[in-house]
Structure 1
Amino acid sequence: MILSEPEWQALTLSLKVSTVAVVCSLPFGILMAWILARCRFTGKALLDSLIHLPLVLPPVVVGYLLLLGFGRRGLIGQYLYDWFGFTFAFSWRGAALASAVIAFPLMVRAIRLALEGVDTRLEQAARTLGAGRWRVFFTITLPLTLPGVIVGTVLAFARSLGEFGATITFVSNIPGETRTLPSAMYTLIETPGAEGAAARLCVIAIVLALSSLLISEWLSRWGRKKLGEAV
């Protein structure tokens, strides 16, 4: 399958945006999952709902809210631009932010389910032996949660690859800068005579998504097997 230069740009940009989105959101995903799984406090249900809100909101609404918050004249974006000369709007960084927000609930949910499956008696035993909270987390909790972390990471990556609505609303559809695979397909579908190129990108998107799901399943099984051998 021979791709044109714009198609290669869309593919590589999608992989770049998805990777950055997942890597940057993973620490926050683990933190939020731990808070929801282990902490009890007033407003927990509200926090849970806010985290999962992007799953039920139209992606265009998410993109519009990001534009209000992180646009060059947004509530937060104006200070980032005035103080640091940094902006998310109309750049690949904004596409990564939009993808991270949309995929974040999937990541948190997978990690939270894994955390809830960890036997807390193991953590309590470690603390009674003198291990601090951070040591218990990094030596017991996190390794036991590894399959869930892997699944959440790969699912978030796959979701980021397919993100369209929030991205095009927040950062537009700029060739070589914010035109990811879905945006490129949207452009090609509206271009007369470009059906072949759109079909090629469609096949690539399907292969990438299917590969991500298969890798997620394999890594999850591998992680459970390693944990079983360790135990």
Structure 2
Amino acid sequence: MQEQVDLPEPPRGRGRPAAGREVSGRLPWMLVLPAVVGLVFLVLPLAGLLIRAPWATLLRRLAEPQVLEALRLSLVCATVATAVCLLLGVPLAWLLARVSFPGRRLVRALVTVPLVLPPVVGGVALLLVLGRRGLAGQWLEATFGITLPFTTAGVIVAEAFVAMPFLVISVEGALRAADQRFEEAAATLGASRWTVFRRVTLPLVMPGVVAGAVLC
């Protein structure tokens, strides 16, 4: 029979990894102070807005016909623009995440351009393309009689132009983080590409799709 040997227990407080002691140590004030200042910088304007809002007459003002019409128009435009972003942005994100093609980095950079454009520059760019004398606006008006400037459709196009990069970035990140073995397993079982995308890929990246839609 083998003799059982009792190993000595390690001293208490010394079995914790060094990384744990570093995390539980003193706060790095060189990072905490700028973080607090940044938080105050972001929250203070919102607090001022809430404090100075006319809460006593808010319901009466929201019930005015002009305000109700503006709220309805904003809700319709935002909803339709989000649907357009989902319809076009999800396939674009899948293309950037799963397909290797020449110029993919350039395409990804072009997708993020609306994020850095000032609103005035973005509006002028859309007007030069879709205006009555724009590159595509002339053809739309001459062929189909469609005029976009100063219309609800024009607002939807402008909102989708600004919001789609948020969706593409969110969905592309979710696609890159998703485990492709599930898609490969479905493909080996005979599922078509559309079935794999609809039944496997979309459920895997749905949190990213929802997050992108909320940003839109």
Please indicate, yes or no, whether the TM-score normalized by the shorter chain is above 0.5. yes
Aligned residue among 122, 128, 150 for 2:182:
122
The match for 1:45 is 105
The match for 1:69 is 129
Q: Distance between the aligned counterparts of 2:85 and 2:130, measured in 1?
A: 17
> Paired residues, what number?
156
RMSD: 1.0
More helix by share: 1
Structure 2 residues not aligned, in runs of 5+: 1-58
Aligned residue among 43, 64, 69 for 1:9:
69
Check if 1:94 corresponds to 2:148. no
The match for 1:200 is none
Residue 96 of structure 1: CA displacement?
0.7
Aligned residue among 108, 111, 115 for 1:55:
115
Structure 1 residues not aligned, in runs of 5+: 157-231
Aligned residue among 30, 36, 48 for 2:90:
30
Residue 79 of structure 1: CA displacement?
1.0
Q: Distance between the aligned counterparts of 1:111 and 1:81, measured in 2?
A: 35
C-alpha contact (below 8 Å) 2:92/2:168 kept by paired residues: yes
The match for 1:141 is 201
TM-score by length of 1: 0.66
SS of 1:40's equivalent in the other structure is coil
Structure 1 segments, 4+ long, off by >2 Å, are none
The match for 2:78 is 18
Residue 8 of structure 1: CA displacement?
1.7
Letter matched to residue 78 of structure 1: Q
Letter matched to residue 63 of structure 1: G
Which digits, 9 at most, give the CA deviation of each residue in 1:60-98, with x for residues without a partner?
111111001001121111111111111211101101110
Q: Distance between the aligned counterparts of 2:73 and 2:117, measured in 1?
A: 25
C-alpha contact (below 8 Å) 2:127/2:134 kept by paired residues: yes
Q: Distance between the aligned counterparts of 2:71 and 2:194, measured in 1?
A: 39
TM-score by length of 2: 0.70
Matches within 5 A, 1:212-231: none
The match for 1:83 is 143
Q: Distance between the aligned counterparts of 1:46 and 1:94, measured in 2?
A: 27
C-alpha contact (below 8 Å) 2:85/2:163 kept by paired residues: no
Q: Distance between the aligned counterparts of 2:155 and 2:172, measured in 1?
A: 26
Whichever of the two has the greater Rg, that structure is 2
The match for 1:104 is 164
Residue 25 of structure 1: CA displacement?
2.0
Letter matched to residue 158 of structure 2: A
The match for 1:132 is 192
